[in-house]
Structure 1
Amino acid sequence: MPPTSRPLRKLGFLTIGLFDGADPGRGHESTLGIIELGEQLGFDSAWVRHRHLQYGISSPVAVLAAASQRTRRIELGTAVIPLGWENPLRLAEDLATVDILLGGRLNPGVSVGPPMHYDQVKEALYPDTADAEDFGYERVRRLLDLVRGEPATDFSGVEGFEVFSDRVQPHSPGLGRRMWYGGGSLRSAQWAGEHGMNFLTSSVVKAEESEDFAGIQLSHIRAFRAHHPDGDRARVSQGLVVIPTDSASPEQRAKYTAYVEKRTPRTVTPQGPARMMFAPDIVGTSAEIAERLHAHAAFQEVDEVAFALPFSFEHADYVQILTDIATRLGPALGWQAAT
């Protein structure tokens, strides 16, 4: 292992939870099964994506509530909940409830910005306030305050037979320290650090200072820690798509290679007006992937990862990929399975 790389301390994975619109139960059951498998393999965390008006997980908090009853150790997170779709007070209640059910294992990740295709959905989402909604960092700050136990109202006490609290109930005392921000810009990294959050850096970043993905991601990690009260000890989790092929069948290897080749052109230059850079997917044996990661400038400064599972594979493919990550790639990165 190159001396510049830290041994991997926490290994996680991320799934989108795709399903067939004609049979959504099967897809959700597959997602829960994958999370259970992750715990059995010793992963430290499992994360779910968030997709509205698509055939993916639209309610990650509900899915993780179900997973709370089928797991005992693994940490569960969201990567990420776009707050433009959420009321911070209601979301704070849901997050605290699931964290209580999990015994303090929830890691909520959030992001800001207007909902995707906002002009087409705003009348359904915010029919009376569409043009007045604030989709910036203030929405995150409100959520943080509520999760951390700040008052939500100036009223509390007994009214008749009912008892009212001035803060979100249930209150989960440790949840505020496990809030994550999913950011792809220097400003987001700095804001997350200033507000004492943890930082999720994924396979998509904004090309602000260069067009070198690893270098951009590294600058975000350093900006976050420079503004965080915990400095270099502030938690950062890196998310990249890795596809180990150690135990894959020839058919799976061919499918994985075709998947990566199809997605590679978008990684060459910044995409769209926002100049978003996409990380190349990494496919190969665990030894080959480990070598590439050890040479990755941003990976060298983290000791937590949440590797993203490809979007459109089958359940058996995910089983093979997760098994190879846990039994071969993780150890090659210095990680030891949880017990």
Structure 2
Amino acid sequence: MARADRPVGDRQTVTLRRLGFLTIGLFDPAQPRGGHETTLQLIELGERLGFDSAWVRQRHLQFGISSPATVLAAASQRTSRISLGTAVIPLGAENPLRLAEDLATVDVLSGGRLNPGFSTGTPMHFDDYKEALYPGTWRDEDLSYARLLRFRGFVRGDQVSSFTGREGIEDYSERVEPFAAGLAERLWYGAGSTRSARWAGANGFHLLTSSVVQSENGVTDFGAVQRAQIDAYREARGEGGRVSQGLVVIPTDSATAAQVERYRSYAASRAHRVGVPQGPRGMLFAADLVGPSAEIASRLHDDPAFQAVDEVAFALPFSFEHDDYVQLLTDIAASLAPLLGWSPQL
């Protein structure tokens, strides 16, 4: 039976083909270099452990990665195999043409390993900085899906300039340079609703689905809602689309007693959100999965959304220490992922 056709709740064993992780890259505002360096070290560690992909979040005006293109450019020079992704870049805060130049450059530097993910619409806290970003013109900005289609056209090589040829000793191109062959086919969309998942599929993007989705039709079971969105995406996309699931998993196999206590306290502090729609859009949060790898693997195999994917980008919790992240990545690669059918491609 094709994975997209499995009924919700079918416990057929999933074979995980691609293993990834996601980090926010927090840093101390008084010493920002340290946090960026440890993020790069985590990506290097992920490659050594056999992870197939490493993803970074983008956070504007916070103490996390504000420039994923810059961070991933650095990561591309410290790794050779692992795919590098963004999950996600809010496109409403970007100039699509300039971003196309930046990401095409990173893709060229990485040897074609970049997998950029995006969101559209109004970025978080946009009203607080829109005048700084688009002074006097923010009302004129199109923050819709069309902005992402325009970006894709730029990286695909569509004409952007009416002038091409030589002027003096300088040569000019009509398209964004450098041209990164294949990048337009490696673009992802971070969807949280059935509407956005269906749009991503119909328009040929890959799908990033995370630990936050929008409740729909009164359904508050996270796994059922996420599975319905994945099915809608696959129906709209047809063949060729990839879906990556990004839950928070916290294996404790090699954790110290102090780490286990801290991890469980972290999950308990967030448990009140599970199953309860939050905010005006009724957002649902997945439960954090904490415990031995065997226990987490069993819960994942029972998850209807996990049953519909064959790749993941497990999200690292925001506020842990570097040693915690090392332990988590090591246990995910060495203990959890093999129970999900994954083996490293080293």
Same fold? TM cut 0.5: yes
Structure 1 residue 296 corresponds to structure 2 residue 303:
yes
Aligned 1:168-183 pairs, distance under 5 A: 168-183=176-191
Per-residue deviation, 1:153: 2.2
Distance 1:284 1:152 in 2: 52
Aligned 1:252-263 pairs, distance under 5 A: 252-263=259-270
Equivalent residues of 1:51, 1:58 under 8 A apart? yes
Equivalent residues of 1:68, 1:102 under 8 A apart? yes
3-state secondary structure, aligned to 2:336? helix
Aligned to 1:282: 289
1:158-194 CA distance string (max 9 Å, x none)? 2222211111100111111110000101111111111
Aligned to 2:149: 141
Equivalent residues of 2:11, 2:302 under 8 A apart? no
Distance 2:11 2:112 in 1: 34
Aligned to 1:226: 235
Distance 2:344 2:197 in 1: 29
3-state secondary structure, aligned to 2:55? strand
3-state secondary structure, aligned to 1:92? helix
Per-residue deviation, 1:201: 0.4
Letter in 2 for 1:106: L
Mean CA deviation greater in 149-158 or 273-282: 149-158
Aligned to 2:76: 68
Distance 2:27 2:76 in 1: 21
Aligned to 1:107: 115
Name stretches of at least 5 consecutive residues in structure 2 with no aligned partner: 1-9
Distance 2:196 2:176 in 1: 26
3-state secondary structure, aligned to 2:127? helix
Aligned to 2:247: 240
Equivalent residues of 2:120, 2:144 under 8 A apart? yes
Pick one of 29, 54, 72 that aligns with 2:37: 29
Aligned 1:157-172 pairs, distance under 5 A: 157-172=165-180
Per-residue deviation, 1:155: 2.1
3-state secondary structure, aligned to 1:248? coil
Name stretches of at least 5 consecutive residues in structure 1 with no aligned partner: none
Pick one of 44, 47, 51 that aligns with 1:39: 47
Aligned to 1:265: 272
Per-residue deviation, 1:229: 4.2
Equivalent residues of 1:96, 1:175 under 8 A apart? yes
Letter in 1 for 2:141: E
Structure 1 residue 212 corresponds to structure 2 residue 221:
yes
3-state secondary structure, aligned to 2:250? strand
Letter in 1 for 2:340: L
Distance 1:138 1:267 in 2: 33
User: Would you say how many aligned residue pairs link Structure 1 and Structure 2?
Assistant: 336
Distance 1:294 1:337 in 2: 20
Per-residue deviation, 1:3: 6.0
3-state secondary structure, aligned to 1:143? helix
Equivalent residues of 1:5, 1:301 under 8 A apart? no
Equivalent residues of 1:19, 1:56 under 8 A apart? yes
3-state secondary structure, aligned to 1:37? helix
Aligned to 2:96: 88
Distance 1:222 1:87 in 2: 32
Equivalent residues of 2:159, 2:174 under 8 A apart? yes
Mean CA deviation greater in 203-212 or 82-91: 203-212
Structure 1 residue 118 corresponds to structure 2 residue 126:
yes
Equivalent residues of 2:53, 2:83 under 8 A apart? yes
Q: Deviating runs (4+, > 6 A) in structure 1?
A: none
Equivalent residues of 2:222, 2:275 under 8 A apart? no
Query: What's the TM-score once normalised by structure 1's chain length?
Result: 0.97
Name the Cα RMSD after superposition.
1.0
Equivalent residues of 1:5, 1:299 under 8 A apart? no
Query: What's the TM-score once normalised by structure 2's chain length?
Result: 0.95
